Structure 1
Amino acid sequence: MNTLKTFFLMAIMTFILMFLGNAIAGQNGTIIALIIAGVMNFVSYWWSDKIVLSMYGAQPVAENTHLYQLVKKLAQRADLPMPKVYILNEQQPNAFATGRNPHHAAVAVTRGLMDIVDDNELSGIIGHELGHVQHRDILISTVAATMAGAISFLANMAKWAAIFGGGRRDEDNRSGNPIALIAMAIFAPLAALLVQMAISRTREYKADRFGATVSGNPEYLANALRKLDMYSRRIPMRNAAPATENMFIVSPLAGNKMANLFSTHPSTEDRIRRLEEMKYEK
């Protein structure tokens, strides 16, 4: 099912790229955008995890560390292959998982996260990320992040083309409507974000449930989410890219009020409520 979702996502993002390419340079732009989309889809499938980890300066964690051993214990409990473990030099407490499948997965946490959570809460967070690995939706989130980044790049090109009188020309060699070009530059990234939102929100609930089960107590993750929600609003993530927002356990852009209007995550309050309801399930 998630394989179909991935191909569906790629198809939508490819269409948006082609639409932008056509707006910028007509038929030639469409062809160029199609080539870019083909390259991006290929790269996204095979190397998007490395791109994202590199983007955030992720450093591998040694096997003798407490974090590595905790991930190993939870991966064994979840009957999953051992993922690679990374740490990000960011003060905002956060975490994400990436990779194309459970055998090529990575879990990354920030230094800020390690500073504020206890072992139980960390278990809930790691369990959540392993949930994304188990459900095989880490590829979807990483592909979405990579493709959304490409769309944002082309949208920026469209904006400058409009400002400087570029863009597609008609049969009389006149420039296209700059207002329409700017509108496309605004709404194309928004369309890509809506695709990310549609896919991302449901899978967060599933990963929360998995994390609660693997860690042994839904309160562990619920308590961790309370802390993450509070600190993420106070501490910005220096290198946070909107295109990768959907990958994190809580939005790294939570301190940005405008970004909150289009967050790829369900509300933290609702996630905590669902976790607390698990305590009463038989």
Structure 2
Amino acid sequence: MNHLKTYILLAAMTALFGGVGYLVGGTGGMLIALVVAGAMNLFAYWNADKMVLRHFKAQPLEPGHPDPRVRAYYEDTMALAQRADLPPPKVYIIDNPQPNAFATGRDPQNAAVAATSGLLGLLSRDEIRGVMAHELAHVKNRDTLTMTVTATIAGAVAMLANFALFFGDRDRNPLVGLAIMFLAPIAASLVQMAISRAREYEADRLGAEIGGEPEALARALEKIEAYARQRVNVDAERNPAMAHLFIINPLSGRGADNLFSTHPNTRNRIAQLSEIARRFGRPTMSAQQASNTGPWGARGGRPKGPWG
């Protein structure tokens, strides 16, 4: 169902692009905008992983790390990748108190996953496995490619909207041009965000299958969102365009309108995972009344990561 939603939203984005191009007054401007936006996003497709990892100051990990928490995170990620029939990803850690994680890379052969020190300090080991299974699901689904395509079309729509005001049909009411300039990019952004939300639901579903612990992922999402609201991710705030990469919106500390959120409501995600847990014959969050304490952190306490 989530794949179907993505295809429908991609079709809507393409239709919006074609409609704005027609209103501009022909195919010439539409093709130029598409070529420019495509070139920009093609560069991002090949280099986005390096730019993202550099922006968040991610440090690569190797086997045998001296910190047992970091070592377990690395080893569990490799084991989950093998279970998902994926090539071994590059594993990174980010020295950041906000608990969060993301995956990047243009394809499974060039994938990288990263977790913050805050995440390792807050979650129990099974919850971290649930998070990494979710990130590997993004890798398996090639979500980077999907989001690059939507970014390409959204960028082209924005360019065409600007062309509409200055180079559109001179006989058209100027207010129409202004409406296109402001409303078309907003519409494209909303569709882009809807696609991102659909991909999160799908990654939760597949991640639950890869890790086999949907209830652990549900607990992790609840904890991450609660702490993310308390700790501002400065690096994410500097570049909000990267927010969609993370498992939970890293901008939650500043508040976000649901309409413009790149992530689905966490309660809805937990409800989906609870249903999957029932199908697995596993206890749900409400049933098991699980303690949120783990070997690396506890609810209500200050999460401690590998850097204290």
TM class by shorter-chain length?
A: 0.7 to 0.9
Does 2:71 match 1:71? Answer: no
Are 1:93 and 1:116, in contact at CA under 8 Å, matched by a contact in 2?
yes
Cα distance change, pair 224–44 in 1 and its aligned pair in 2 (3 A): same
Return the offset for 1:111.
Answer: 2.1
Task: Give the secondary-structure state (helix, strand or coil) at the position aligned to 2:215.
Answer: helix
Structure 1 residues 4-15: aligned runs within 5 Å: 12=13
Task: Give the secondary-structure state (helix, strand or coil) at the position aligned to 1:81.
Answer: coil
Q: Which residue number corresponds to residue 202 of structure 2?
A: 206
Return the offset for 1:117.
Answer: 1.0
Write the distance in 1 (CA, Å) between the matches of 2:185 and 2:266. 25
Does 2:102 match 1:96? Answer: yes
Aligned match of 1:231 in 227, 234, 247? 227
Does 2:115 match 1:124? Answer: no
Does 2:251 match 1:253? Answer: yes
**Greater relative contact order, per chain length (Cα 8 Å cut-off, separation 6+):** 2
Cα distance change, pair 42–220 in 1 and its aligned pair in 2 (3 A): same
Q: How many residues align?
A: 267
Task: Give the secondary-structure state (helix, strand or coil) at the position aligned to 1:252.
Answer: coil
Structure 2 runs not aligned, ≥5 long: 66-70, 282-308
Cα distance change, pair 207–146 in 1 and its aligned pair in 2 (3 A): same
Write the distance in 1 (CA, Å) between the matches of 2:212 and 2:90. 22
Task: Give the secondary-structure state (helix, strand or coil) at the position aligned to 1:239.
Answer: helix
Range with greater deviation from structure 2 (266-275 or 210-219): 210-219
Q: Which residue number corresponds to residue 217 of structure 1?
A: 213
Q: Which residue number corresponds to residue 162 of structure 1?
A: none
Return the offset for 1:213.
Answer: 2.6
Return the offset for 1:27.
Answer: 10
Write the distance in 1 (CA, Å) between the matches of 2:150 and 2:61. 26
The normalised TM-score by structure 1 is 0.75
Write the distance in 2 (CA, Å) between the matches of 1:15 and 1:127. 34
Cα distance change, pair 9–59 in 1 and its aligned pair in 2 (3 A): farther
Return the offset for 1:215.
Answer: 2.3
Write the distance in 2 (CA, Å) between the matches of 1:272 and 1:99. 27
Are 1:44 and 1:143, in contact at CA under 8 Å, matched by a contact in 2?
no
Runs of 4+ in 1 over 4 A off after TM superposition: 8-16, 26-32, 142-148, 150-155, 166-171, 179-186
RMSD (Å), alpha carbons: 3.8
Return the offset for 1:11.
Answer: 10
Structure 1 residues 15-54: aligned runs within 5 Å: 33-54=33-54
Task: Give the secondary-structure state (helix, strand or coil) at the position aligned to 1:82.
Answer: coil
Task: Give the secondary-structure state (helix, strand or coil) at the position aligned to 1:255.
Answer: helix
Are 1:151 and 1:192, in contact at CA under 8 Å, matched by a contact in 2?
no
Return the offset for 1:82.
Answer: 0.6
Task: Give the secondary-structure state (helix, strand or coil) at the position aligned to 1:261.
Answer: helix
Task: Give the secondary-structure state (helix, strand or coil) at the position aligned to 2:229.
Answer: helix
